[in-house]
Homo-oligomer: A and B are copies of this chain.
Amino acid sequence: MAKAPLATSPLAPERFPNLMPVAGVELAVAETNSRYKGRPDLLLVRLAEGTAAAGVFTRSKAPSAPVDWCRAALAASGGQNVRALIVNAGNANAFTGKAGRAAVDAVATAAADKLGCAANAVMQASTGVIGNPLDPAIITGELDGLLTRFSATDWTLAAAAIRTTDTFPKGACRIAHIDGYPVVLNGIAKGSGMIAPDMATMLAFVFTNAALPAAVLQAILGPAVARTFNCITVDSDTSTSDTLLAFATGVNARHGVIQDASDHRLDDFKAKFEELLCDLAHQVVRDGEGAQKFISITVTGAEDDRAARKIGLSIANSPLVKTAIAGEDANWGRIVMAVGKSGEAADRDKIAIDIGGQPVTRDGMVLPTYDEAKATAHLRGREIAIAVDLGIGNGRAQVWTCDLTHGYISINADYRS
């Protein structure tokens, strides 16, 4: 089953960022040597007593067993006093029927026993192949060893352990101020294919030592996800396992008590939280399977923000747009096609397209001043900017995707073998 690791994406950040410790968060990883050999593929995060949690999950009608588990556990606990997160890579425990449910039960019970907490306080996420039964012993057999290895600083290992086809570990760190006092925000994520979030995407975990009620954390999470993870796409396929969990330990938080998500003392925290999610979401796109170019699509002048996002994703999901960019071909007619197929209001004769900042079309046709050689030069780069103005309203959105290349086909035509 072992395959040679894929070459690191050319769009990867130069290095994994420096992640500071988050008070109340301890990390441990293990190598289960099940699907992947000789690399960490299991992560246990221990969270301080009193940690609040919030989550958003895939809208798939066929969610994985861990997604079902987390939804139910958060509903039961109200997101209060969540004590652990367990993530395994290689097997998604999705479409595994009763055996899948039994596996998450067994893992939660064993971990709760070792950690001295309620089973409902153990969050779980799994990523990998869909449809293979997951033997819980692969995870529970590692628990004793994991408990001896906790560290506050092993964020690179933690981010590495949750990878599947990812070519680089994804992390981000911000310092936010609440009430004048600093709190740390750390995030790790995995994702490379099956990326078209319809809620959260892939797996992403955010940890902060801010002291926030679960309801406030949840209220901050939703809108931030809408503008970040829900605005990226690699291949238009939505995972059964999409999970984004945020944890607030409250350890060493010196700011005052906050009970309301609209409290202005949270303004900087919210901004940094969204910035962190955006950073992680972009890293997911930069590791899009086979990606050679990172594409930012800005849509303005749409009927409303919702329409702008739908038009943006219609462009971002178009195989013909993505292959044209892969081929460094300024085939802007395909952008028109993608706007047209979105189903959203558009007036063909008002659509204005810019590529790399250069005006290409105005009033429904190509400009006499348009310089295709200049557009092609832009497309030869790694960072591609497309802007579309509909000219009919004030709706705007930004979405991000990558190009569609031979690499995507090679990776996915034989993922399991």
Interface residues of A (CB under 8 A from B): 58-63, 92, 94-100, 129-133, 193-194, 196, 198, 235-240, 317-320, 323-324, 326-327, 329, 331-334, 336-346, 348-349, 351, 361, 363-366, 404-406, 408-410, 412-417
Determine which of B100, B317, B336 lies in contact with A236 in the assembled complex, contact meaning CB atoms within 8 Å. Answer: B317
Closest Cβ–Cβ distance, residue A202 to chain B (whole Å): 13
User: Which B residues touch A413, using CB under 8 A?
Assistant: 323-324, 326-327, 329, 405
The answer for the CA separation of A349 and B98 in the assembled complex, in Å, is 9
The answer to whether B409 and A409 have CB atoms under 8 Å apart is: yes
Closest-by-CB residue of B relative to A320 is B237
User: Which B residues touch A417, using CB under 8 A?
Assistant: 327, 329
Interchain Cβ contacts under 8 Å between A and B, 29 examples: A60-B341, A61-B340, A61-B346, A62-B337, A62-B351, A92-B333, A94-B337, A95-B366, A97-B363, A97-B364, A97-B365, A100-B365, A129-B333, A130-B333, A131-B366, A132-B366, A133-B365, A194-B337, A237-B320, A238-B337, A240-B336, A240-B337, A319-B408, A323-B409, A327-B414, A329-B414, A329-B416, A331-B415, A404-B409
The answer to whether A61 and B344 have CB atoms under 8 Å apart is: yes
User: Which B residues touch A238, using CB under 8 A?
Assistant: 337, 340-341
Q: How many copies does the complex hold?
A: 2
The answer to whether B329 and A415 have CB atoms under 8 Å apart is: yes
Closest-by-CB residue of B relative to A60 is B340
User: Which B residues touch A348, using CB under 8 A?
Assistant: 61-63, 95
Closest Cβ–Cβ distance, residue A267 to chain B (whole Å): 35
The answer to whether B97 and A60 have CB atoms under 8 Å apart is: no
The answer for the CA separation of A200 and B139 in the assembled complex, in Å, is 52
- With A337-B130, A341-B198, A346-B62 known as contacts, the answer to whether A323 contacts B237 (CB < 8 A) is no
The answer for the CA separation of A60 and B345 in the assembled complex, in Å, is 10
User: Which B residues touch A99, using CB under 8 A?
Assistant: 365
The answer for the CA separation of A190 and B196 in the assembled complex, in Å, is 31
User: Which B residues touch A317, using CB under 8 A?
Assistant: 236
The answer for the CA separation of A351 and B404 in the assembled complex, in Å, is 31
User: Which B residues touch A323, using CB under 8 A?
Assistant: 408-409, 412-413
